Amino acid sequence: MSLTLTLTLLALILVAALGRFFIRLPKNIWLLFLAQPLGMCSSSMVVFTGGLVGSKIAPSPDLATLPLTLMILGTAAAVIPASMLMKKFGRRIGTIIGLSIAIIGALLAMVAAIQSQFELLIVGAVFLGFSMAFVAQMRFAAIESLTNFDDSAKAVSVLMVGGIFAAILGPEVAVVAKEWIDSPHGFAGSFLALAILIFIAIIFIAFLSPIGVAEKVSGQQKRSLKEVVSQPIFIIAVCAGLIAYSVMSYVMTATPLSMHELEGHSLHDTKWVIQSHIVAMYLPSLFSAILIRYIGIAKLMIVGCVMYALVVIVALAGKHVMHYWWALVLLGVGWNFLFTSGTLLLPEAYLPQERFKVQAINDFTIFFIQALASLSAGLILFSHGWSTLITIAVPMILIMFAVSIWYFLILKRRPAIQAT
């Protein structure tokens, strides 16, 4: 085990212990904080290894990103079943089911790497995608574990900080365990190590206090699905999450292929860029709750859009390692601000008894569009190049700018409406 990997695991446990002592949040938040990074390693590992392994064993290099794309499609396909399972059995049992599916996916991917079977790698990636639908629900489990809704921003920020550890653990485990098992192109041992990490996550989840089983009674009239999804606040929340994820996944998926396969940068540099990107996705969570308190969600969304605009400028400026590094770091920060905003806005769009249905619609929409973005990334990169790929992202960023300004204007009108 590498020193980096050892220190990261120890730091994860230490931060959870200190946070439990100094930050007054329920026990469930800290158990989720420990489990989520381990569950999220599925995503960061497939991002790092999926394209590299896929490019070696796929029938065509154009299909190199297909495992990652189908993983995301698997996530989209499993969102509604995951939400319904959690509604029936609760967050704890539902999450354990999802993580168990991830273990199956990791072991299938391991066999695929050993036997150079691209089709089996795809199946493994789909199973890992199924599990990510359950992992994604952890942010809602954190909010539902609170006794004081005012702590929502703090709880979501704490949970997202855990993603920093996933950023390091996924690629680090992939490299450290790459040769644990002999395979033609490596990485079989990486998927075995992933299965072990996910099993540890299940142990943490087993200690969760039951949440999310009983429906809260509301005196308000039941609303139709059309009424819920036509609310401006719902549209804004979904757009924030959708554009945050689709642009991020689109650029991130293409980066390892562009760097390592097309530009010839080393595997070490490629790993460093991807790790830095995922750290940048979650590190701002250390202060995003404070930013929200002082500038509000609307302005945070606008800052996220500015970050995405800077990604385009930097990525088009060149293809040296530092161009990729800065572009991916800015991409990560922009994603954090937009996705955090969407997550915090969504509960304003539903009543307590509507939460599972609305959360499922939100996540399905996000992950389905993300899958399309991921699939198109490999095709556009190999057929038209890096510059065209980046330019195509501009319309989505402009749409998000417009949505952010729309929300800002809605907030400005609220005091006048309330006064009347």
One DSSP character per residue, 291-340 reads HHHHHHHHHHHHHHHHHHHHHHHHHHH--SHHHHHHHHHHHHHHHHHHHH
Which residue did the predictor score with more confidence, 37 or 356? 37
Architecture field, domain 226-413: Up-down Bundle (1.20)
For position 300, what pLDDT does the model report? 92
Average pLDDT over residues 205-230: 70
pLDDT over threshold 90, residue 307: yes
Contacts by 162-165, CB closer than 8 A, 24 or more apart: 162/12, 162/32, 162/33, 162/34, 162/36, 162/37, 162/40, 162/282, 163/36, 163/37, 163/40, 163/278, 163/281, 163/282, 163/285, 164/37, 164/278, 164/279, 164/282, 164/283, 165/8, 165/11, 165/12, 165/37
For residue range 5-45, what is the model confidence (pLDDT) as tens digits? 888 889 888 988 888 877 778 889 999 999 999 998 888 78
Which residue did the predictor score with more confidence, 395 or 174? 395
DSSP state for residue 26 in the 8-state scheme:
-
pLDDT over threshold 50, residue 420: no
Q: H or E stretch including 398?
A: helix 394-419
| Dist CA 322 CA 279 (whole Å) | 16
Architecture field, domain 1-212: Up-down Bundle (1.20)
Average pLDDT over residues 239-254: 92
Distances, alpha carbon 374 to alpha carbons 31, 175, 214, 288, 371, in Å: 31, 23, 37, 27, 5
For position 52, what pLDDT does the model report? 76
Average pLDDT over residues 67-75: 84
For residue range 118-162, what is the model confidence (pLDDT) as tens digits? 999 999 999 999 999 999 888 888 888 887 767 777 888 888 888
Structure-token match 């920060």, residue found:
333
pLDDT over threshold 80, residue 329: yes
Average pLDDT over residues 303-330: 96
| Dist CA 289 CA 307 (whole Å) | 18
Are 152 and 146 in contact by the 8 Å Cβ rule? The answer is yes
Are 303 and 384 in contact by the 8 Å Cβ rule? The answer is no
pLDDT over threshold 80, residue 91: yes
Of 39, 133, 132, 135, nearest to 80 (Cα)? 133
* pLDDT, mean over the chain: 86
Per-residue tokens: 247? 């642009």
Query: Residue 197: helix, strand or coil by DSSP?
Result: helix
Lowest mean pLDDT among 77-91, 169-183, 209-223, 275-289: 209-223
pLDDT over threshold 60, residue 100: yes
Are 334 and 307 in contact by the 8 Å Cβ rule? The answer is yes
For position 419, what pLDDT does the model report? 33
Are 325 and 272 in contact by the 8 Å Cβ rule? The answer is yes
DSSP state for residue 243 in the 8-state scheme:
H
For position 25, what pLDDT does the model report? 83
Lowest mean pLDDT among 11-15, 76-80, 350-354: 350-354
* Domain regions of the chain by residue span: 1-212, 226-413
pLDDT over threshold 50, residue 66: yes
pLDDT over threshold 70, residue 212: no
For position 217, what pLDDT does the model report? 46
pLDDT over threshold 80, residue 417: no
pLDDT over threshold 70, residue 79: yes
| Dist CA 82 CA 342 (whole Å) | 20
The pLDDT-based confidence of 72 (bands split at 50, 70, 90) is confident
Of 78, 90, 83, 39, nearest to 203 (Cα)? 39
| Dist CA 36 CA 91 (whole Å) | 13
pLDDT over threshold 80, residue 366: yes
Structure-token match 């991807």, residue found:
274
Give the predicted TM-score (pTM) of the model.
0.77
Q: CA-based diameter of the chain, in Å?
A: 72
For position 221, what pLDDT does the model report? 63
Distances, alpha carbon 380 to alpha carbons 65, 111, 306, 342, 385, in Å: 11, 30, 24, 28, 7
Are 411 and 297 in contact by the 8 Å Cβ rule? The answer is no
Could you check whether 1-212 and 226-413 share the same CATH topology?
yes
Average pLDDT over residues 402-412: 86
Percent of the chain with pLDDT over 90: 37
For position 127, what pLDDT does the model report? 95
Residues 6+ apart with CB under 8 A from 21: none
pLDDT over threshold 70, residue 1: no
Average pLDDT over residues 218-241: 82
Give the HSE-up count for residue 46: Cα atoms under 13 Å, Cβ half-sphere.
32
Residues 6+ apart with CB under 8 A from 136: 75, 79, 363, 367
Of 338, 276, 283, nearest to 306 (Cα)? 338
Distances, alpha carbon 6 to alpha carbons 48, 247, 281, in Å: 20, 33, 22
pLDDT over threshold 60, residue 215: no
CA 168 to chain centre: 14
Of 246, 393, 399, 404, nearest to 313 (Cα)? 393
